[in-house]
Structure 1
Amino acid sequence: MPEPMRPTDFTATGEARPERVARPRDAATLLLWRQGASGLEVLMGVRSVKHRFMPNRLVFPGGRVDREDRSAPAASELHPQTRRALEHRAAPRLARAIAIAAVRELHEETGLLLGTLEAGRLHAELAPLRYLCRALTPAMSPVRFNARFLMAPAETATGTFGGSGELEHLAYYPVAETPPHDLAPITARVLAEFRDLMALPEPERETRPLVWYQGRDTRRLERMG
């Protein structure tokens, strides 16, 4: 007869706690944005129902940092403000790898290129990237990520939609409108964070405190110093 679960085996939301907490993997996500007819638009796509993590959800292009990202070449290096933001919670080599991963995932999942291909190898343009926020997947999730959300203007990328097929319904979606596909709670939070940031005068965006999300929707400010 199986041992009955104790009250402590459940989270505050009633979900069963995992027997072993998964270690978060470093991940990178890129919000490619433009000004459309109805205002700000962001490139997104729907993850296949076959995916273990957030299936059938509307998401930004992104994924985990690979070992090869740590030594990958770049066509340009990070803007100082972006580099400082990424290095707040990552060693310099990892911080750069996170940015490389964001550009790589954009190319793999959408076909769009932020950089150049030389002998089939991506040389990422890191200079256009700006930091938005980071998010840590809840402890009860079997797959966890420490994801950094970066952003770049759409005109800095070239190419046409294609990619691996991992993302379906690729399009620029208006930020101010209700999307036609389901959003994960954290994706909705990041979209709101992006909308609020872009509403600020450009000089104020550079001095805004660093934001991170703990779990699904707990907004916190990074401890500096």
Structure 2
Amino acid sequence: MDSAQVTDRAADVPVRPAATIVLTRAGTNGPEVLMGQRGAGAAFMPSKYVFPGGAVDRTDAAVPLAAALAEPCRARLDGTGITPETLAAAAIRELFEETGLALGRPGIWTDAPPDWEAFAARGLCPDASGLRFIFRAVTPPGRPRRFDARFFLADADAVQGDVEDFSAACDELSHLHWISLTEVRRLDLPFITEVVLSEVALLMRGGQQPGVPFFDNSGTRPTFRRIT
């Protein structure tokens, strides 16, 4: 198969909406983030250390939130063909599936979709009030999977339960651990994760974003802009 055929097939890969949570906490050596390692056989970013996250599921659109996203985050997520509430729900679900950590509030939820049954079984409804939209990136062409990913910053104090307990995590991420921002770049990180970490470090120092950074690879030429 020649290179032109490979490129043509790669261009046909659909771009799926996705959501990621950058969970932070105060550590003895400064702010820490939660990271996990993708499997060596994974089709997307094998062996890389990443934040918990993944593609939006169809059922995420029907999930009731115990508390909504705050402004201006909600406004910055609106008008993209998928609701802010759906993106927030997907981020919370992915965090729970991949780490076992729940961002929720006590509440009765009797009709949870299958992907949410374990979350609801804890007597919780998903809480988006502590999520802060800090980054957006579209995966470049030529990758086996492509995502339009929104990254949310969240504080570990909002987690219900022990933030060191990953016993309920699925096997998608291994080596789940907290690591300080001063040491995290020693890990094998994707380029976009390094860029997001720079934004996280800025915010943890009390800095401000002049709009949410957006690396857009949806067209023929990569572009960078800020969502205000």
**TM above 0.5:** yes
Aligned to 1:17: 7
2:34 aligned with 1:30, yes or no? no
Q: Which runs of 4+ in 1 moved over 6 A?
A: none
2:54 aligned with 1:63, yes or no? yes
Q: 1:153 to 1:223 in 2, by over 3 A?
A: closer
Listed as ranges, the gaps of 5+ residues in structure 2 are 111-116
Q: Deviations over 1:177-210 (max 9, x none)?
A: 2445311111111111211233234xx45xx212
Aligned to 1:137: 139
Question: Secondary structure of 1:212's match?
Answer: strand
Q: 2:173 aligns with which of 167, 170, 178?
A: 167
Q: 1:125 to 1:52 in 2, by over 3 A?
A: same
Distance across 2 between alignment mates of 1:77 and 1:220: 28
Aligned to 1:46: 37
Q: 1:223 to 1:181 in 2, by over 3 A?
A: closer
Distance across 2 between alignment mates of 1:148 and 1:130: 10
Question: Secondary structure of 2:23's match?
Answer: strand
Equivalent residue pairs, number? 206
TM-score after normalising by structure 1: 0.83
Q: 1:75 aligns with which of 66, 69, 73?
A: 66
Q: Deviations over 1:107-147 (max 9, x none)?
A: 11100010147453362100000011101100111210000
Q: 1:178 to 1:102 in 2, by over 3 A?
A: closer
Listed as ranges, the gaps of 5+ residues in structure 1 are 11-15
Q: What percentage of residue pairs aligned between the two structures are identical?
A: 36
Distance across 1 between alignment mates of 2:205 and 2:142: 34
**Please, which moves more after superposition, 162-171 or 27-36?**
162-171
Q: 1:114 to 1:181 in 2, by over 3 A?
A: same
Q: 2:128 aligns with which of 126, 129, 136?
A: 126
Q: Deviations over 1:28-63 (max 9, x none)?
A: 000010111111111110011232111111000000
Q: 1:223 Cα shift?
A: 6.0
Question: Secondary structure of 1:56's match?
Answer: coil
The letter of the residue matching 1:143 is: R
Contact 1:106 1:113 in 2 (8 A): yes
The letter of the residue matching 2:73 is: T
CA RMSD between the two structures: 2.3
Distance across 2 between alignment mates of 1:186 and 1:32: 16
TM-score after normalising by structure 2: 0.81
